[in-house]
Amino acid sequence: MMSFWFPFVLLAIIVVSAAIGIIGFILVCNAGRDTTPEPPEPPQLAPVERCGKGHPMTDENVYAYPSGRRVCRTCDRERRGRKAGNHAAV
């Protein structure tokens, strides 16, 4: 009787062992994945300061008065342009 069931018992043990091994492998993989630190975010550039009209207040676009007041060159140009235009129109 034992000799008849022995191969099946052996097979069952092998299958169960394999299943436990696979499950363990998956669990280990998942655990490893969970503990893996996320790739560092690319360094965030400092948010570009913007003027009241939304122009980027970059070094090239900002005029700093000696008093420390900073003005948007684009706005300044538009203001001048509008003034000139008004003058021309008037």
What is the binding site for Zn ion (CB under 5 A)? 51, 53, 55, 72, 74-75
Q: Which is nearer to Zn ion, 39 or 68 (CB)?
A: 68
* Token code pair at residue 19: 């299943």
- The dihedrals phi and psi of 25, each to the nearest 5 degrees, come to -60, -45
d(CA 3, CA 31): 42
Contact 52, 79 (CB under 8 A): no
Rank residues 18 and 50 by Cβ distance to Zn ion and give the closer one.
50
Shortest Å, Cβ 30 to Zn ion = 52
Nearer to Zn ion, 15 or 49 (CB): 49
